[in-house]
Structure 1
């Protein structure tokens, strides 16, 4: 499903995860892809891109983080388009073949998806010459007016993207708008603000600080890695609630990553 959330921003759902297209649709050829969805989704993403931008390739690919459902098509697309891929310096070891992520926590409090997470890949990938660190000054390549915000917790190098001009936020998995651990809610996309997916979040104190950091930006629009976009008063109230109740609404009562921090 391709959703126009701003004049130059589209959210595209690939199975259960969102990618973003930044750029004004045709005739413009200046566009950027943010995240690359599930494995084997390259053709689906390419088709959506063609619908928006014709037979042009992006100027860059930006990754919020390197989990399998956000980099599923990045190797194929980066090679096909021959474009640079940017991620936070602390995420690079998972994108240049040096490190694997911890295995998903199937013991964490949650629903069926959490129990199924043992099937999710945790291996890093190697983007070779395509991968580059994001600029240290906080700017985002090929996205004028946008800045990246370091929002660790879900992964060490997780980032979100923010544009001050219209207070638009691409949050990645720093917070999401669906209970990603619960299969029924994932299938129905029942909207409910939530912390990052529990089965892959390794540092809950950092995740809490990251949500506080994003709330202080006062976003008016938020596109998250999972779930439907939120905007306006509904976003403000939901994000305020999540910040105030993070310990009970987001952090699980039990799980290996919770126990490790006690």
Structure 2
């Protein structure tokens, strides 16, 4: 499996495009600038199959409808953030974008628990990693040694927890119980910033030292 990051929008939210040997693609967190996503998909001649959301804050969902309608593909989000796509107050755009609001249509599928998923040749595990937001989830592609962590875990940092539904203690517990137990060589693809590894964050992340 191949993966490619596209930092999008003013917050440079990482949209990840995953592709397999059959040319199928998964799009994770298309936050803004749909033309950039479409251009990459066209350049690589990929066949998008689904949009996966690590959570539904505005900077992760801004291009959802454009991409969904372009390729007629379903959107997956955790059930705890079912209403966030359609509600600017919940997804934060009402408060952070100075008058501009972001709304998307409801998700096509709601993820209700941790589970193993198979979508068009992609096999992965869904981990519930709340703390940054109530419905934050991470996608673990075990065979490829990759976990997409959304805004839970970053290189040398962790997600903010001062937004509605956030919890610092819960986020640390999520990271400890769901992510740090993965093999140390596992590549972490975060919602913002560069990729890292589980081992690197165990050794040097100042927010996790002593936890």
Pairs within 5 Å for 1:218-229: 218-219=183-184, 220-229=186-195
Listed as ranges, the matches of 1:52-91 within 5 Å are: 52=44, 54=45, 56-91=46-81
Residue of structure 2 in register with 1:138 after alignment: 115
Cα deviation for residue 73 of structure 1 reads: 0.2
CA–CA separation in structure 2 for the residues paired with 1:35 and 1:93: 17
1:157 aligns to 2:157 (yes or no): no
TM-score relative to the length of structure 1: 0.68
Unaligned runs of 5+ in 2: none
Corresponding residue number in structure 2 for 1:176? 154
Deviation at 1:172, TM superposition (A): 0.4
User: Which position in structure 2 is the counterpart of 1:93?
Assistant: 83
**Structure 1: unaligned runs, 5 residues or longer:** 1-6, 105-116, 178-192, 247-262
For residue 242 of structure 1, report the CA deviation from its aligned partner. Answer: 3.2
Aligned to 1:237: 203
Does 2:37 align with 1:45? Answer: yes
User: Residue 48 of structure 1: CA displacement?
Assistant: 1.4
1:120/1:169 CA distance change after superposition, 3 Å? farther
Tell me, yes or no, if the aligned pair for 1:12 and 1:20 is still in contact at 8 Å. Answer: yes
Q: Distance in 2 between matches of 1:121 and 1:226?
A: 24
Q: Distance in 1 between matches of 2:136 and 2:198?
A: 25
State the shift of 1:24 in Å: 2.9
Give secondary structure in 1 for the equivalent of 2:51: strand
Deviations for 1:10-45, whole angstroms, at most 9, x for unmatched residues? Answer: 2222241101111137xx33111011023xx11111
Q: 1:67/1:139 Cα in 2 relative to 1: closer, same or farther (>3 Å)?
A: same
Alignment check: 8 A CA contact 2:30 2:63 kept: yes
Using structure 2 for the length normalisation, give the TM-score: 0.82
Report how many aligned residue pairs link the two structures. Answer: 204
Distance 1:224 1:235 in 2: 12
Distance 1:74 1:126, change over 3 A: closer
Q: Identify if the C-alpha distance between structure 1 residues 19 and 234 changes in structure 2 by more than 3 Å, giving closer, same or farther.
A: same
